[in-house]
Amino acid sequence: MILSISQPTLYPWIGFFDIIKKSDTFVFLDDVQFNRHGWQQNNRIKDPNSEQEVWLNIPVKKTNLDTKINEIKIDNSQKWKRKHIRALETCYGTNFKQIDWLTELFSKDYETLSNFNIDFIERCCKYLEIKTNLILSSTLNIPGEKTEKLVNICKSLSADSYLSTIGTKEKYLKNEEHKFENVGIEVIYHDYKHPVYSQRGKKFLDHLSILDLILNLGYESKNFFLR
């Protein structure tokens, strides 16, 4: 059984969903320390007029540095949903309104950042016909810090293999692989080649939010996850 683990980020990029597709089970790592100003609350789309990236952000309330991701509350006093909708309409026109589940997402109220991010990811997986089993780490009550926690999650779910992003290899995991191997778990790296697709504007920008793929191609987006 192939398992992958990642924090619930905001409007993740295509590779995030490809990892989910290539896993039997995917775990949202929502009970670790929140990284303020990271990908958990920021991501990018493309403005085809300026050919530049447009940043989308969800403001959060101030908390202690050791606050866990699933405890981070959205600052709904700021009109962030209105800003996101306007940006999507400006960059993708009427395509935005044709994605029913996306407009429905913005009609709901969310108290925590993780709830919004996870709801988006789950809806996106359904739209892309990705049927991987999705689990929240906070429901597992797994102890440990950093790599130890990842190993313990893999063990608790009887994983044979742990699928991780290639970027983690040089950052830290190359020297930590033995911790997985000692308990019979193989470490596999997801070396993803970003596809080129029909994108508004003349200059193709990669590594944007999955929103860019979906709002450019619509339901055809699922074809990128069939393999």
Residues 33-52 as b/e (b if ≥16 CB within 10 A, e otherwise) read ebeeeebbbebbbbbbeeee
C-alpha closest to that of 96 among 211, 200, 13: 211
Tokens of 1: 């059984």
Predicted pLDDT at 189: 92
What's the number of domains the chain is made of? 1
Range of the domain at 99: 2-225
Predicted pLDDT at 144: 87
Predicted pLDDT at 59: 96
CA angle 151–184–27, rounded 5-degree value: 35
Q: What is the pLDDT of residues 55-114, one digit of tens each?
A: 999 999 998 888 999 999 999 999 999 999 999 999 999 888 888 999 999 999 999 999
C-beta of residue 55 within 8 angstroms of C-beta of residue 44? yes
Tokens of 61: 């309330």
31: CB partners within 8 A, 6+ apart? 68, 69, 70, 137, 138
What ranges make up the beta strands (E) of 11-99?
25-28, 42-47, 52-57
- pLDDT under 70: residue ranges of the chain: 170-171, 227
Predicted pLDDT at 176: 82
Predicted pLDDT at 5: 96
